[in-house]
Each structure stands twice: as C-alpha cells, then as structure tokens.
Chain A
Amino acid sequence: MSIRIVIKYLGVVLAILGALLCFPLFWSLAVAHDGVHASFLIPACIALLGGLSLFRFFPVEKRSLSLREGLALVTCTWVVGSVVGAIPYVISGTLPSFVDAFFETMSGFTTTGATVLTAIGHQPPSILLWRNFSQWIGGMGIITFFVALFPMFGVGAARLFEAEMPGPQPERLRARVVDTARALWLLYVAFSLIEFALLWLVARLPFYDSMNIMFGTMPTGGFLHLQQSLGAYVDSPFVTTVVTFFMLAAGVNFALYFYALRRRQAGALLGNPEFRLYAGIFLISSGVIAFDLVSRTGMTVGRAIQHATFQVASIQTTTGFATADFDLWPALSKGFLLVLMVIGACAGSTGGGLKVVRLLVVFRYAFRQVVVAFSPRSVMPLKLGGETVPEAMVSAIAGMAVLYVLALAAGFLCMSALGLDVVTALSSVAACVGNVGPGLGAVGPARDYAFIPGVGKLVLAGLMLVGRLEFVTVMALVSPSFWHWR
C-alpha cells in the first residue's frame, strides 16, 4: 500500500473538481450577477492548480492500483471532495462555519439532502446551484465519473468502480470497466435531460428551476433552491407527477435499463425480483398512507394520493423532497416513512438505504432458518429470479445488514447523548445513513439540521459517507489490519 499513489490520483480528482466548480462560477458571472464569483474562483484555482501539479510532479512508480489503494482512494476522494466543495459556502458567507459547510457538501455529494441552510430563499442563486449540482455529480459516483472520462486507472478502475457502486455485487454491463462506467453515466445523463425537458418545455417552469429540480431528482438528492421544497408546486400535479416518476426511475438498478434497452424487451426490467418488490413496496405504502391521510385528516382523495405517492417515492428512493410537512401526518404514515428510510432503493441505483435486494435476501435467509428448524435435512439454496445466490454473497449481505443496524444504533446513541429527543435522534440517523435527508421531529421536512451541535454534524456527515459507500469501503480504512503488513 503506497500513500503516494493515492495522493497522485487524488490530484486528478481535485483537478476535475476544480473544473466542475467552473459551472457555478460561470453562472455567477454570466447569468445571476450575484457577486459571489470569488467564492468559486478561489477554490477552483486551488483545486485545478494543486491537483494538476500533484498529478504532474508527484513521482510514483508506474503501476495500477492495488485493492487497498483503491479503497483508500475512494474514501479519500469523497472526504477531500467535500472539503474542497465546502469552500464556496464559507467564502460567500452562506455558511460561515466550516463544519456546517462540510456537512452541507457531504450531504450534497452523498445525495442525502440534509441541510443546515436556514433562509434558503435569501441565498445567492449560484451558491444554491452549486449545492444542487454537487448532488448531481455525486449521484452516479464521483469515481465512476472519473473512470468514465479518463481511462487512466487501468486494471485498478474495476476496484474503484466496485468500491463505489451501491449493491452487493455491481454488475459489469460491458466487458471493460470504462465502458460500463460510460454506459451508466450515459443513461444517467439521458434520464436527466428528459426530466429537464419535461419540466422546462412541457410544464413551462423557469430554466433555473427546472435545472435545479432535475439536479435534485435524478441523483435522489433532495436539495432544492426553494424554502418549502416541492411544496411550492403542490398545485401543479403535472410537476409532482413528473418528479415522482423520475425519483422512482432513479431508484431502479440502472443495469436493468441497460439490459432492457439492449435486448429491446421490458422483461429484463419487469421480471427482475428486486424491481418487483420495489414496485410492490411503493404501491402498498402509498396505498396505506393515502388511506390513512383520507381517514385521519380528512384530505380529499386526489390530494391524498398525490401527497402519498410523492412522499413514498421521495423517501423510498431516499430523495428527500417534500410536498407537505409529513411530520404532521398521522402516526401510521410516519411509521411507514421511517421504515422506508431504512429499506431504501434498489442496488445499482442512485438511491441509498439498505437496498431492496438485501432485504429480499435477508428475509429469505431468515425464512430458511425457520424451515431448517423443523426440517433439518432440507437443502434450500437461496434463489433470486431463478438463480442461486452464492452462499458467500448471502453471508456478505447478512454482514452488511448487521453493520447497517449497528450503525443506526451507534448513531442513535450518539445523537441521544447530544440531547436530541428519541424521534429526532432516530430519524436523523436513519435519514443520514440512508442518504434520505429530512427526518421526523426536529429534523422534519419543514425544519433543518442547523441546531445540532458541531460534533453531531460531523457524526452525521460520517454516517452519510458510510451509508453512501456501503460500509465496507470506509470500514476497511479504519480496521487495524488494513494498515498492518502494508
């Protein structure tokens, strides 16, 4: 394990980040004229120059990345990226405290959407654009983006890609990792453009609004430039329906789209067991919540369906948009939403959470234990869609589920120690590990994370990262044996 090689490649990451910072810089100078261009120019220059010189002048031996270096690079990328991405908030004065700015950026890159920004309506448009754009970059994965653009990582690219993609075993769509990353990004960009076109051209939303909504939807992020989130468009069912649809679309394994398009048959998508369960969860949860809203709050049926489908899609895909303050909804609805936060979206999507396929495997695993209890001689391989799941993967998934629950518990204890009430502590941790964003109680959709003490923000930011990279990548770095015998 050579730290030098990690630093060298971090240089590339930095340089690209610098280039990406030019987008809000351009917006500030040419479109918004909000006078905060310096807050983009400074970090962009530092990142571009520093990154390029690290890459150019940092001598390392020429070879591809080892497994350990790959894991270290992925984690470092997300942390360093968040540090650099936080600079504009600090310089512009939007978030003077660095911890706040770091929390906000990490929340953006990990597509969580938990915010500490209080008066969103009064912030410079280019800062808000950066806030939304950062989620879009993080959506399909920062490293995946670099792998797609620059085929320089060689064989190491496969490791980086696998360390970053969500899901038990990332599928290789194409033989080469570079092609796979490109295919994924192409699908992602295509979906983004379609949603943007629908909002801008069909729904006639302003350019800036359509772009920002798209930047929040496709990566299942949740940041928006509006104080009331999508509550501002509650009277436009077309907009909420489009957003609902694209949130759901972003929560599906992108590999399925690839196969469905390539083989020109929808069966690859519709027949997938994970997709079916995902759709089932969506239909049942929105049905129950709509019914709950109508019977308990006296909402009209149409409105209840609109709110319920939107909110279930938003929480299930771990986006975190809100059309209403669901914290005020009846207990059953809130309970459903809290459970959905933990389950999350499909593997290989831009969403977070435990992932539907893991739930499926863990359930079947548990069911098998029950059968074995009364029929010890039965041989029951675990099957998904007609294919046996290797036992090694079953145990990996079970291990990941346990880690997930442990992280929830540890985070919950931490937040309780900081004085948060039970509902707030639990939901804030679930919302951050699952990359959802808004929780319940004091971190509900109508409020924010600003009141949480600095330590709590750092813990939550760490949980977002751990949740986004699905534990193993980050946990490897903190396990002592990773550093022995390097």
Chain B
Amino acid sequence: MYIVVVGAGSTGFYVASLLSREKQEIVVVEQDEEVAERVRRELDVGVVVGNAATPRILWQAEVQRADLVVAVTGVDESNMITCFMAKELGAKKTIARVRNPEYSGYLLVGGKSPYAPRKVIRPKGLGVDLFVNPEIEAAREIVSILSGLYATPMEEFADGRVQLREFRAESAAVVGKRIPDIPFPRPCVVAMLGRGEEMGVPEADARVEKGDRLYLIAARKDMDELGAIFEAPLRSPRTVVIFGGGTIGFNVAEALEKRGVRVKPMEKNPARCQEISSKLKRAVVIQGGRPDRELLVDEGVAHADAFVGATGDESLNILAGLVARDVGVSRNIVVVDEPDYIQLAEAVGVDVAMSPLLLCGSRIAHYVLHGGAGSVALLGNEDAQAIEFLVAPNARISMHSVSELEWPKQAILGAIVRGDAILVPTSTTVIEPGDTVIVAALLDEVAGVERLFKAP
C-alpha cells in the first residue's frame, strides 16, 4: 500500500512510524526542513519538503497513486484542502484530522450510554473520507473508562458483543499461578501477557507474576464477572474532578454531566473558565492551573471519586494525577502525548494513562489495514493488535482449526462469534465460513495472520 502522510508533528510522526513498521510504502510531506530531517533520520519513509496544500507538492509526493492520504497537520483547514486536492488528483482514500467539530459534523456523544453509536453527519464534497479528532476520541475513551466497573482500558469487537480488557495481576487469586490454574469464573482467553516492556502470547503454562498485564478476550456479559478475580469492582463515580479545561477536559465534563455525574473542571485561563462554565449546565469551574496540594484539598478533591488530568502538558497531568492520588482520590486517569510515557506513568501510580495519539493512530491503522471492515485495537504500548475478521468461504482458514494450519507463533485466537453464540476457541476448534473471529497478534505477525484469512 502506498500512503502519503501530511504533517510530521507528533501525530503524523507516530502514524508514519506505525505504518512503516507494518512494511507499507510511506511518504511524509512536511513543511519544516528541520522536522523533515528528523523523519528522514529516524524512519524508513520517503520525505517531501513543502506545503502539501499545493498541487505541486502533492504531485511530488505522487499522490495520484496513493491508496491513502492522511492529513494531520496542526491546521484543520489545511488538512481539509490537502485531502480535497489529493482526491482531485486521484488519491483513493483520505483521512483528515479536524479538531473543530463544526467542520466534521461530529455529534459528540449521541446518547446516555457511551456505547450508543455516534451520529456522524459528514459534509460531502470535501473529499475527506474519514475525520479523526484525537481530542474527541480521547474524551470519549475517558468517559468510557470512567463508566466501566474497572479502571483499565477496554476494546470492543463484533458490535460490542466481545470485549478485550486489560487487567493488572495484583490479587492473590492470580499472582504466582500458572495460567491454566487460574480459577476463571467464566470461559475466556488470555490473549496477551505483558511484563514490563515485553509483551507476547503467553506460553500454555506461563506463570503470572505480580504486576503483569493480562489481556483477556471474552463475551461482554462475562467480562464483569471475570474482572472480579483481578480487583474489586469499582462503583461508578458520582463526582469527578477534571484538571484542564481544554477540548478533552471540556468534552469529558460535558459528557459526564449529561449522564448525571457531578463534575468540577479546573482551568488556568480565566477567560476559558468563563467560556466552559457558561457552556456547562451545573458544573462549578475552578480557576487554577497548578496542581497544588492545598488547592486540591480546599476544593474537596479528596472526596471525589475520580480525577482526570487533561491539560495540554503531559508532565503536569502526570504530576496532578499523583498529587490527587496522594490526597486520596481512588481513580485517576491522565492524558499523555508520548505513547512511551504511558507505562512510565502507570508504573509511578497513575491508574490509566492514555494517549490521544495512540487512539488516533489506531483509528488510522484500522482504516489502512482493513478498509473499515471489522475492528482493530492496538494493545499495550503499540506492540500488539487485536483484529476482527469475517471468515470468507474461500479463506485459507475456513473449515480448518488452528492446529491444522501454520499459525503464527505470536498470534492467538481470542473468540469466535457464530450466529448468536460466542465461542471460546481452543486450538482444535474448527472455524466455519461466516464466523466473526477475533485474533490478537504482535505487530510483526499481523501480516501472517491476515494471509490466513485471504483466499489461497
């Protein structure tokens, strides 16, 4: 696949590095010579220097033969013009990052439940096939984590009937046991085991150590029960403090407020405080930009059920999350930019660190790899993926079981959705045409898995 990535800011750089690791042919267009030089040095991609919103530069990037154009510069309008022109010149698909929801027609949160489908009213004729908005995605993810029973992130497959959830091994029911000996109350598959920086499909009798990350795939109705052996279920928060009133903070506040949660946004800029407090119905907005212990205690943060660190400054978010935890908040979620900092933040005591970049990257990777079919989720620190496949009658894997095929070593079958039933597969389960299959695999092996789902 030939992909043109426009803009090598943090999102563009991340998307380009992710896709080039998947062995796609990529050209990055960037205006700033210094930034372009960094891309040239660190990634195995082609580089074109110039303003991509001009046909000359787009020609130079050979956009006419591009399968996909991803426009992720910092300017909405420039991204849209780039996509429009790329489409005119012959690019097949385009993705634009558009922060201003008024352009893309995003209806932020459709219903009361975060699982409700969002209504996306797209403007036609702009040539943009997919609008991505990292901030809105992040806000949605935060709301979804906060409304779940567990603190860890979750991904959904097969229209939400199958879930993949990350759990931390802390409880005595899990730590020190071999995976077959763990008393799971419901059938499930331990798809991936993460330990520190490492991550992979666990060996059949791998022993779980304290602090390991287990990625469980199971039916959604079973997941809450399964989670109970890892940690005590949390109650839904009733009060949430949101540190930072930017796009993410505001959207989280708005969505939570709609669902009857009391929110208390804190924001540094007085004008912005005015703005958000006039947009929110009941919330009291606090003006304050430093995560002072005193300020947090004064404002009753200690009694809040959850804390969200969502300023534009990742180090401030982590710090604020830690202060809040110290003050006594039971759950804290912080936003970081650099995907590498996620583990670091979680290691020092943040419950969930999340990166809008990672979300945006996974959206785009999903689009690239599967053209919008099935779902894709990036797991852990972007090392692994969980992918949903619909089994075609002529697929190589059809009417076979995993043990009969050359199944990649670092890939695992997580669940099979057959009609209304959700099966937890073993290596001898025969896969039938029409099944929806959820597979988790390390990034290097994804191509090998995909081959099995294609016609021989």
Contacts and interface: CB of A to CB of B under 8 A. Distances in A.
Interface of A: 67, 151, 154-155, 157-158, 172, 174-179
B46 A172 contact: yes
A155 B44 contact: yes
Contacts of A174: 25, 46
Contacts of A67: 41
A59 to B, nearest CB: 15
Contacts of A157: 44
A205 B273 CA distance: 87
29 contacts: A67-B41, A151-B23, A154-B44, A155-B42, A155-B43, A155-B44, A157-B44, A158-B40, A158-B41, A158-B44, A172-B46, A172-B47, A174-B25, A174-B46, A175-B2, A175-B25, A175-B26, A175-B27, A175-B45, A175-B46, A176-B20, A176-B23, A176-B25, A176-B26, A176-B44, A176-B45, A176-B46, A178-B44, A179-B25
A56 B40 CA distance: 31
Interface in B1-57: 2, 20, 23, 25-27, 40-47
Contacts of A177: 44
A157 B41 CA distance: 11
A154 B42 CA distance: 10
Contacts of B27: 175
A147 to B, nearest CB: 10
Most B CB within 10 A of own CB, among A67, A158, A176, A178:
A176
Q: Is the interface of B mostly helix, strand, loop or mixed?
A: mixed
Across the A-B interface, the 9 shortest Cβ-Cβ residue pairs? A175-B46, A175-B25, A175-B27, A155-B44, A177-B44, A175-B26, A176-B44, A175-B45, A172-B46
A239 B27 CA distance: 44
Nearest to B33: A390
A176 B45 CA distance: 5
B254 to A, nearest CB: 41
Nearest to A161: B44
A157 B45 CA distance: 11
B20 to A, nearest CB: 7
B448 to A, nearest CB: 15
Nearest to B27: A175
Nearest to B37: A392
Nearest to A151: B23
Contacts of A175: 2, 25-27, 45-46
Nearest to A155: B44
B213 to A, nearest CB: 20
A391 to B, nearest CB: 12
A175 B39 CA distance: 12
A244 to B, nearest CB: 35
Given A157-B44, A172-B47, 14 more contacts: A67-B41, A158-B40, A158-B41, A158-B44, A172-B46, A175-B25, A175-B26, A176-B20, A176-B25, A176-B26, A176-B45, A176-B46, A178-B44, A179-B25
Nearest to B48: A175
Nearest to B62: A175
A381 to B, nearest CB: 15
Interface in B158-187: none
A178 B20 CA distance: 12
A179 B45 CA distance: 11
A151 B47 CA distance: 20
Interface string B221-260: 0000000000000000000000000000000000000000
A47 B40 CA distance: 34
Contacts of B41: 67, 158
A446 to B, nearest CB: 48
Contacts of B23: 151, 176
Interface in B45-79: 45-47
A158 B40 CA distance: 9
A169 B26 CA distance: 20
Contacts of B45: 175-176
Nearest to A180: B46
Contacts of A179: 25
Nearest to A158: B44
A177 B44 CA distance: 6
Nearest to B43: A155
A132 to B, nearest CB: 34
Most A CB within 10 A of own CB, among B2, B20, B46:
B46
A427 B451 CA distance: 59
Contacts of A151: 23
Contacts of A176: 20, 23, 25-26, 44-46
A197 to B, nearest CB: 32
A172 B28 CA distance: 13
Nearest to B28: A175
A385 B401 CA distance: 61
B415 to A, nearest CB: 30
A179 B23 CA distance: 11
A126 to B, nearest CB: 39
Contacts of B46: 172, 174-176
Contacts of A172: 46-47
A182 to B, nearest CB: 12
Nearest to A179: B25
B202 to A, nearest CB: 19
A156 to B, nearest CB: 9
A175 to B, nearest CB: 3
B29 to A, nearest CB: 12
B210 to A, nearest CB: 24
A175 B66 CA distance: 12
B86 to A, nearest CB: 16
A78 B385 CA distance: 40
Contacts of B47: 172
A175 B47 CA distance: 8
Nearest to A177: B44
A151 B447 CA distance: 15
Contacts of B42: 155
B34 to A, nearest CB: 11
A64 to B, nearest CB: 9
A251 to B, nearest CB: 26
Nearest to A172: B46
B6 to A, nearest CB: 14
A470 to B, nearest CB: 19
Contacts of A158: 40-41, 44
Most B CB within 10 A of own CB, among A155, A175, A176, A179:
A175
Contacts of B20: 176
A67 B43 CA distance: 13
A172 B61 CA distance: 13
A155 B16 CA distance: 12
A223 to B, nearest CB: 35
A179 B44 CA distance: 10
Nearest to B17: A155
A295 B44 CA distance: 56
Interface string B390-420: 0000000000000000000000000000000
A467 to B, nearest CB: 26
B17 to A, nearest CB: 9
B91 to A, nearest CB: 15
A49 to B, nearest CB: 26
Interface in B335-361: none
A154 B22 CA distance: 11
Interface string B403-440: 00000000000000000000000000000000000000
A13 to B, nearest CB: 20
A178 B25 CA distance: 10
A176 B26 CA distance: 7
Nearest to B47: A172
A417 B310 CA distance: 72
A177 B47 CA distance: 12
Contacts of B40: 158
A172 B40 CA distance: 10
Contacts of A155: 42-44
A403 to B, nearest CB: 23
A158 B45 CA distance: 9
B200 to A, nearest CB: 12
B9 to A, nearest CB: 19
